[in-house]
Amino acid sequence: MNFAFVCGWCGAPCVMWGEPVASWWTDRYELPDDFECWSCGGISTTPPPPWTPADD
Ligand SMILES: [Zn+2]
């Protein structure tokens, strides 16, 4: 599932892929600790959940 984040440097919306984690009691996804902005190239820390699902 894709999640939407906002770059901490330039404010551009970034979309990151979250790998589903097998679990029977809740929907969980694994995301990297940080992500690189497609717009400015800056590295931003992934905020703590809950995350915003991105519209595909
Ligand atoms: Zn940026």
* pLDDT score of 56 more than 90: no
What is the DSSP code (8-state) at residue 18?
A: -
* Ligand 1 center from residue 49 Cα (angstroms): 20
Q: Pull the structure tokens for residue 14.
A: 């970034």
pLDDT at residue 26 above 80? no
pLDDT higher than 70, residue 9: yes
Q: Is the peptide bond preceding residue 50 cis, with omega within 30 degrees of 0?
A: yes
Domain count for the chain:
1
Ligand 1: centre distance to CA 24 (Å): 36
User: Which domain covers residue 26, as residue numbers?
Assistant: 2-53
Ligand 1 centroid distance, CA of 25 (Å): 35
pTM of the model: 0.81
Neighbours of ion ligand 1 (CB under 5 A): 7, 9-10, 12, 37, 39-40, 42
